[in-house]
């Protein structure tokens, strides 16, 4: 299959039988719900831009598995150039949407699992890597959106998963069968999952032997029986139902998250990529977190570009554009935004090959990148707060 168009993506979501709840009631048509629709519009842009010739080099690339043209969001990084192009692509989409476009978590999860499954197989003689490559090719061939799911509800942070008063505070295996496993638990604040075709689940912390039932990673369709999506509230969400754009924030684009419940969900063996190998849970977490912290050097900077432009326009409307203190603020905002972008580019340029052959960022610099975004972009005077979709 060729790259999906924006319209084809939208129609693919209509075919899903998602179990979505909002305001205590099931949402029968998530695609057209006025509160949820802006988040779909944001993710749809990842498909729309991939069809535009001027963005082809950033939005698409060739699969290292098949050699076919694919959306970069389904790609496994093969070089430092790939890593840098990822950040540039994210900045472009941030500029286009001024919102979270929701496809980054799945991309980062794919890259973390690709390299980690290779090393698990090396140690234990398992076949997780080939399973994952088969899943990845399916995602690439069909241009699917994958939602990465890492954060558990956790309960008492001072206790390991198996020590919790409620054993389901971390997602776990409750039954093992010859053909797969049954899992129970939930993943918290999953941005974009109601706009995704697949969910890729990962552990949320490093684990020890007593936690091996919690050391589970797998991918399944988002409309699998037993998956329930509880939508989180957003600021100004009901105002989007009132018509117009006054005082409703970014009324065209947005992001929405959900608490994702796994109510005794069956996962077949060919979709399991970690099953009790607890000593690799920490590697998955570290690599995913590194990739996602790199992402902030692109997406948040793109949103920053929009905020800077909006600030400059407001100053012009108010006749204050030439005031020295206003110009100083705008200069500071530009300097800060470009510095954050530098962090994303630096950790990419200093990336290196993993044992699997795929490339990973410099983890220290990726952490610095995210730290700067969190400390400065979301708190600095003159810049509005961006949404904290991720907390790792």
Every domain of the chain and the residues it spans? 6-283, 284-377
Q: And the tokens for 10?
A: 């939208």
280-326 tens-digit pLDDT: 999 999 999 999 999 999 999 999 999 999 999 999 999 999 999 99
Residue 390 pLDDT level (bands cut at 50, 70, 90)? very low
The C-alpha atoms of residue 89 and residue 347 are separated, in whole angstroms, by 16
DSSP string of 302-336?
A: HHHHHHHHHHHHHHHHTT-TT-HHHHHHHHHHHHH
Q: Any residues with CB less than 8 A from the CB of 240 and at least 6 apart, and which?
A: 34, 35, 37, 38, 248, 251
List the single range of 114-118, 235-239, 350-354, 364-368 with lowest mean pLDDT: 235-239
Q: What is the pLDDT of residue 246?
A: 73
* β-sheet bridge partners, residue 199: 147, 220
DSSP string of 61-119?
A: EE-TTT--EEEGGGPPP-SHHHHHHHHHHHHHHHHHHSS--S-HHHHHHHHHHHHHHHH
CATH number, span 284-377: 1.20.140.10
170-185 tens-digit pLDDT: 999 999 999 999 999 9
Residue whose C-alpha is closest to residue 148's, from 180, 196, 84 = 196
DSSP string of 147-214?
A: EEE-----SSTTS-GGGSSSGGGS-EEEEEETTEEEEEEEE---TTGGG-SEEEE--SS---GGGGGG
List the single range of 139-143, 190-194, 195-199, 233-237 with lowest mean pLDDT: 233-237
* CA quadruple 165, 168, 171, 173: dihedral, nearest 10: 100
Residue 244 pLDDT level (bands cut at 50, 70, 90)? confident
Q: Any residues with CB less than 8 A from the CB of 159 and at least 6 apart, and which?
A: none
Say which residue the tokens 């950040």 belong to: 87
Q: What is the pLDDT of residue 271?
A: 98
Quick one: average pLDDT of 55-62?
A: 97
74-93 tens-digit pLDDT: 999 999 999 999 999 999 99
Q: What is the pLDDT of residue 392?
A: 34
Residue 383 has pLDDT above 80, yes or no: no
φ, ψ of residue 217 in degrees (nearest 5):
-135, 135
Quick one: average pLDDT of 234-245?
A: 77
Q: What is the pLDDT of residue 377?
A: 63
Q: How is domain 6-283 classified at the architecture level of CATH?
A: Beta Barrel (2.40)
- Helix then strand count (H, E) for the chain reads 9, 14
Residue 1 pLDDT level (bands cut at 50, 70, 90)? low
Residue 378 has pLDDT above 70, yes or no: no
Check if the beta carbon of residue 94 is closer than 8 Å to that of residue 306: yes
Q: What is the pTM of this model?
A: 0.93
Kindly give the pairing relationship between strand 20-22 and strand 227-231. Answer: parallel
Averaged pLDDT score across all residues of the chain: 93
Quick one: average pLDDT of 155-175?
A: 97
Kindly give the pairing relationship between strand 60-62 and strand 69-71. Answer: antiparallel
Residue whose C-alpha is closest to residue 113's, from 230, 253, 287, 240 = 287
């Amino acid at each position: 299959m060729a790259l999906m168009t924006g319209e084809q993506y939208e129609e693919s979501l209509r075919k899903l039988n998602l179990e979505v709840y909002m305001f205590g009631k099931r949402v029968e048509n998530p695609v057209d719900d006025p509160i949820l629709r802006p988040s779909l519009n944001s993710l749809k842009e990842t498909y729309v831009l991939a069809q535009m010739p001027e963005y082809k080099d950033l939005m698409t690339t060739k699969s290292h598995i098949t050699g076919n043209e694919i959306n970069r969001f389904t790609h496994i990084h093969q070089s430092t150039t790939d890593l840098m192009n990822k950040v540039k692509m994210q900045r472009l989409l941030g500029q286009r949407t001024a919102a979270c476009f929701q496809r980054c978590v799945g991309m980062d999860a794919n890259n973390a699992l690709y390299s980690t499954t290779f090393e698990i197989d090396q140690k234990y003689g398992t076949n997780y890597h080939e399973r994952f490559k088969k899943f990845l090719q399916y995602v690439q061939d069909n241009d699917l959106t994958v939602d990465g799911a890492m954060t558990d509800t956790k309960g008492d942070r001072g206790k390991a998963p198996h020590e919790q008063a409620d054993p389901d505070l971390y997602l776990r295996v409750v039954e093992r069968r010859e053909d797969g496993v049954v899992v129970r638990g939930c993943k918290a604040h999953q941005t974009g999952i109601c706009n995704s075709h697949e969910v890729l689940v990962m552990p949320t912390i490093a684990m020890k032997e007593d936690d091996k039932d919690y050391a589970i990673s797998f991918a399944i369709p988002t409309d699998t029986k037993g998956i329930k999506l509880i939508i989180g509230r957003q600021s100004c969400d009901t105002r989007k139902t009132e018509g117009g754009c006054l005082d409703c924030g970014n009324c065209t684009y947005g992001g929405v998250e959900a608490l994702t419940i796994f109510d005794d969900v069956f996962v077949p063996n060919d979709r399991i990529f970690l099953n009790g190998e607890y000593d690799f849970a920490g590697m998955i977490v570290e690599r995913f977190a590194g990739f996602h912290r790199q992402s902030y050097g692109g997406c948040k900077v793109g949103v920053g570009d929009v905020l800077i432009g909006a600030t400059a326009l407001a100053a012009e409307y108010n006749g204050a554009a030439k005031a020295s203190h206003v110009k100083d603020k705008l200069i500071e905002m530009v300097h800060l935004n470009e510095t954050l972008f530098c962090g994303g580019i630096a950790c990419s340029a200093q990336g290196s090959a993993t044992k699997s052959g795929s490339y990973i960022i410099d983890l220290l610099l990726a952490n610095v990148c995210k730290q700067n975004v969190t400390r400065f972009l979301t708190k600095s005077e003159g810049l509005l707060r961006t949404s904290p979709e991720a907390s790792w």
